[in-house]
Every structure is written in C-alpha cells, then in structure tokens.
Amino acid sequence: MFEQQLVREAPASLMKTENVAAFSPAAADEPVLAVDNIQGNIIGFNKDNQTMLFLRITNAEHFRRWLKDFVPFVATAHEVLTFNRLFKAIRRRRGVETHTVQATWINIAFSFDALQKLAKDGDALQKEAAKFPDYKNKSKKAKDYKADAFADEAFRQGMAKRAVNVLGDPKSKTAEGNPGNWVFGGTKNEADAVIIVAADSDEDLDDEVGRIEESIYAGRSIAGEHALSGLQIIYKQNGATLPPPLTGHEHFGFLDGVSQPGLRGTISGDATDVLTPRQNPLDLNQGKPGQDLLYPGEFIFGYPQQNPQDKNIPGIVAEAGPVWAKDGSFLVVRRLRQEVGNFHKFLEETAQANGISADLLGAKLVGRWKSGAPIMRQPTADEPKLGNNDCANNHFEFDVKGTEIKQSDATLPEHCTDFKFPQAVADEQGLRCPFAGHIRKTYPRDDKGVDASGHEIAEINEDTTQTHRLLRRGIPFGNPYFPPVDSEKRKDSGNRGLFFAAYQSSIVEQFEFVQANWVNNPEFKNQSAGGKLQSGHDLIIGQTNGKGGKRTRHFILPIVKDDATSLVEIKTEEDWVIPTGGGYFFQPSIDALCLLSGRDSERN
C-alpha cells in the first residue's frame, strides 16, 4: 500500500558547523531560545513509543518534595536537540538508520487547579524567585507569582467544563463522547498532572515508566530516596507508531505529522545556529518549502508572537501568566477513539453513491491522499513519491498557484528543489481541496474569509491565520484494524485512535479557536448567502450538537463530471472520531519546576 517507509525528520537543524551564514540571513533579529530551560517535547521528542501517566495530587506538600527530586530527570529542549543533531549526523554518515544512539525522555505538565495548589503563596514565591537569574528583576507584586495570574479562560476552567459548549462534544449524557463518560479528564476524573515518557523501544519505555510508577507508589523519589509522592495514577495511556504498513500513518490510513509550523529563533545566539533551517531558496521566511516560520511566542511564553498585521514583523511578547510562565507552554491533550470500520464504510457507500472512488473521497475529506501527497498538487490519484518528499509535500497554498523551485535555485546543499511534481493551481472556489477538508479547515494558509456579500473578513487571511497554529505532538494508540471485506461485520468498537497533543501559548486562540471557529463551523470562511451552507463541517474531527442534540454534519463535495464541477452536499450523523479523554495543562520551564518545588535554579 505504501511504497517506502518515510523517515520523518526530527525537529532539529543540522550540526551548527554545517550551517553557513547565507543559510539563515534573517535570524540575526530573531529571539534566542532558552533551550536549557524549555521542556523537550515542546520542540518535539519524535519517539515511536510513549506513555502518558495522568495523575491526581493527593497531598501537595508530599508532591512538592517528590517533584524536587524529579526535576533533573525532566528532559530539556537542549538535550533533545543535541540528541536529534547527533542522531541525524550519524544517520547521514551511515546512510541508514541505526540504533547507535537512543534516548528516553520525560516531561511533566500541570492543570490550572494543580498549579493553584502549588503556587498559591505569592509572597513566598516572590521571595524565592529573587534567587533565580531570570526572575530577579521581575515584578514586585506578589500576585504576579501566583498561578491565578494565568489569564487563559480555557486553561482556568479545564477541558471537561468546555467540552460540550465550546468543543461541540456530545451533549447526550449517555453518549460515549460526553465528558461524563471519559476514561480520564472528564467531569468526574480530571487529572492534575501528566507525565509524558518517550523512548525508542518499548522495553526502554517500560523500564522508565516502571521506575516512575515505583517511585510514585513505593514512597521513594525517582533517585531512590525516601519520599512520599503525594500522587495517584488515575489513567495510563500507551501510544506507539503503528506497525508496517501503517508506520507514520494514523488509524484511518493517512500519513500524519506532515505539516508543522517552523519556529523562528536561534539556539545559541549565533545567527547561523537556527532552530529551523531555511531550506526554501526562494523564500527565507520558510523552513522547508511551504513551512512558514513563526515567532516562538505563538507556542512558548516569554517570546514575541506573530504580528497579525504582518507575519514577518514580530508581535507582542506572550506573557499572559505568572512571572515564572516564561519558557513554558500550554499542552492540550485529547484522547480521540477512532471507529475505523465505520469510517471506511461511510467512505465506500458515499463514494459509490456519487460515482467516485473511496480513496478520492477520503483525500477530499482530509486534503491529502493516504501517502501524504496534497490533493492541491495531485488532484486525481495518489502519488506516494510526493507524499514522501518533505521538500514538496507541504509546498502549496490554496488561493495562488504553486512556484517551482528549480535545480539552479538550490545554491546550498541543504536547499530544497521542487520541480518533479505538478504544482498546485489557485483554488479560490474549493473545487480541488474542499473548504471543509481537514487540512484546509485546521490551517487555511492563504485563504481569505468572505461575508455573505462577498466582502473579505478579518478572521481568515494569511496573517491572522498564523495566530491560530498548533505544534502537534500526537501519537496513535491501540492496534491497527483492517476492516473485513464483508461490510456488515465492520463495526469496529476497538480501543484505538489518536492521542492528540498540541502546544500553544493560548488555548482559547489556538486549539479551541481551530476546533470551534473553523472545524465545527459550517460557515467557516464563507458566510452563508441565502441560507446555503458554503463550506460545511470538517467530517474527520468535526463535533456538533444541533437541535435536540442532533449530530448531523455536512460537507460540500466538489464532483467533476464531463469537465463540469458540481457541488454535492453530503451528510452524516455518525461519529467516527470520539473524544474519550483529555485535558488542558501547562508545561512549565525547568526553572519554574525548581521554583515551585523549592529547588535552586540549575541556571545560575
């Protein structure tokens, strides 16, 4: 089914010495990222095996002491980047992937309620913070050190309270997706903290998770000292890259993790030492071709954000939280169970009714073929070579035609070329990639929103869109399911799906905005004219509670017949992506973990 296994790029530039100044000319004005202070998964662990331990804090004082010993085991972005660079250098020299270097990483994040318990004494924290170089000359007000300083309303309330009203999750109390029935993070079982463990092999993962579980229950710190943890594990979620032929793909069969925002900024302050190498010789504001570079404040507190007026000029610094929020990030997790059999049944039946193939319908719903090839560039059939090519598989816009990168444009070995595959055409009408296609809904690129009279609206345009991006770090859970040919036997109530995880600096403006204002909103970029729906819902992840709790979702599907395109409205009431758990967390910096647990700064 998939021509060759794609090795997804680890998020790290090449060895610094391999960079040249011409490779990153704009970076001199970009911020220096405190990679020794930022937790590693924000930059990206990129591991095939992960376990998430969802925790309840039963005794805040015991937990604080336990955390104090735990901090040195929390992986920094610096460690992860150093490993990724070494890994890449070895792979490049050997020519194949080997197990020469391996690593196991740990990160930790907290709910608002948990941080309220850990950071409620503003005076004490302010006094303690004076010993930390980063906080020394900061605010003189004790209230700015309390967790209550977090302004994000979604984070303050938690996911369970907003699931039905904001995210559109099932309202019916008996529905599996209603937060009253979630396996963790619902109205009855919200988590205070999550520990993420990631490893190259499941053996390494089991060892590390075993050590953490033992330290939680055996009254010992992770370093072996006597210490009650003040913790209880309320849910353990394992996740893993799917086995061949689905490696790198999610359960419906589509390649995942293709498009990610590129981060501006340098690692060491040297302008050549960029976090994201600039590989498009025709556009130095991109990483890989099509990967727009964003100011890191979109994802990490304490750095400039995007400027909604001009994406190439930095905006304000993201700091809507306590003083110690700097170098931290909000983490949204959502356990999404997938009904694989029903999804394929729907594809086959609907495709047949409309005289097209199930593969084409799937590609229209996602915006990419199963191989990852974008439908904007490959409108009639899949092309795995394009899906596999990181220089080309993200190089397209929706409103303007694509630009070829010729061999002669590539003046450095790291530069991409992109002339071997057809380029995208301008698709202002959503005929090639439907407006409600999953990738067009969740990242509309250069799309322009229009009101009922055809005037442009500010909510969607190339610059404002960049303020609603997500750094996705999800991983599949459960075994693959290959639906039997007999469609009657296809009901798949198996325990499999996507463990969605994403980092951002505003949950309201990023994860919730994308889900509520774009994905679930049938008028999305085109407001209704004369009562006709003009975009529809994202049928992959869309959630809705219509009249009487009805879950009907619509999708406007363009069908080409005899050179003419007609728009067909397809409908479904079925849920094949079902929320079964989740939470809103904050992943503090290493210094903040030290401050909250009573440990000295590691960065003196």
By CB under 6 A, name the binding residues for ligand N7H.
Answer: 250, 252, 254-259, 334, 336, 338, 366, 368, 438-439, 442-443, 470, 497-498, 500, 511, 514-515, 519, 540-541, 577
> C-beta of 43: minimal distance to ligand N7H in Å?
17
Q: Is the Cβ–Cβ distance between 126 and 145 less than 8 Å?
A: yes
Q: Is the Cβ–Cβ distance between 41 and 83 less than 8 Å?
A: no
Closest to ligand N7H by CB, 227 vs 333, is 333
> C-beta of 546: minimal distance to ligand N7H in Å?
20
> C-beta of 204: minimal distance to ligand N7H in Å?
26
DSSP letter (8 states) at residue 9: P
Closest to ligand N7H by CB, 258 vs 300, is 258
Closest to ligand N7H by CB, 361 vs 439, is 439
Closest to ligand N7H by CB, 229 vs 504, is 504
> C-beta of 35: minimal distance to ligand N7H in Å?
24
List helix spans (H) across 320-402: 340-353, 358-366, 384-387
Q: How far apart are CA 28 and CA 387, in angstroms?
A: 33
Closest to ligand N7H by CB, 40 vs 579, is 579
Closest to ligand N7H by CB, 212 vs 258, is 258
> C-beta of 132: minimal distance to ligand N7H in Å?
35
Structure-block tokens of residue 494: 């198996």
> C-beta of 468: minimal distance to ligand N7H in Å?
9
Q: How far apart are CA 370 and CA 251, in angstroms?
A: 11
Give first-to-last CA distance, the chain, whole Å.
54
Cα separation values, 594 from 159, 221, 318, 602, Å = 27, 15, 22, 8
Q: Is the Cβ–Cβ distance between 208 and 45 less than 8 Å?
A: no
Q: Is the Cβ–Cβ distance between 506 and 305 less than 8 Å?
A: no
DSSP letter (8 states) at residue 241: P
Closest to ligand N7H by CB, 129 vs 242, is 242
> C-beta of 377: minimal distance to ligand N7H in Å?
13
Q: How far apart are CA 278 and CA 306, in angstroms?
A: 18
Closest to ligand N7H by CB, 415 vs 438, is 438
Q: Is the Cβ–Cβ distance between 15 and 89 less than 8 Å?
A: yes
> C-beta of 339: minimal distance to ligand N7H in Å?
10
Q: What are 368-373's contacts with CB under 8 Å, separation 24+?
A: 368/254, 368/255, 368/258, 368/439, 369/254, 370/1, 370/2, 370/249, 370/253, 370/254, 370/255, 371/2, 371/3, 371/255, 372/6, 372/254, 372/255, 372/258
Closest to ligand N7H by CB, 109 vs 147, is 109
> C-beta of 7: minimal distance to ligand N7H in Å?
15
Short-list 578, 579, 575, 577, CA closest to 252: 577
Q: How far apart are CA 135 and CA 497, in angstroms?
A: 41
- Residue 205 one-letter amino acid: L
Closest to ligand N7H by CB, 289 vs 497, is 497
Burial class (CB in 10 A: 0-12, 13-18, 19+), 294: buried
> C-beta of 408: minimal distance to ligand N7H in Å?
29
Strands in 261-396 per DSSP E: 262-263, 293-294, 329-338
DSSP 152-175: -HHHHH-HHHHTTTTT----STTS
Count of beta carbons in the 10 Å neighbourhood of residue 457 = 14
> C-beta of 509: minimal distance to ligand N7H in Å?
13
Closest to ligand N7H by CB, 134 vs 447, is 447
> C-beta of 191: minimal distance to ligand N7H in Å?
18
Closest to ligand N7H by CB, 222 vs 507, is 507
Q: How far apart are CA 194 and CA 335, in angstroms?
A: 13
Strands in 458-496 per DSSP E: 471-472, 475-477
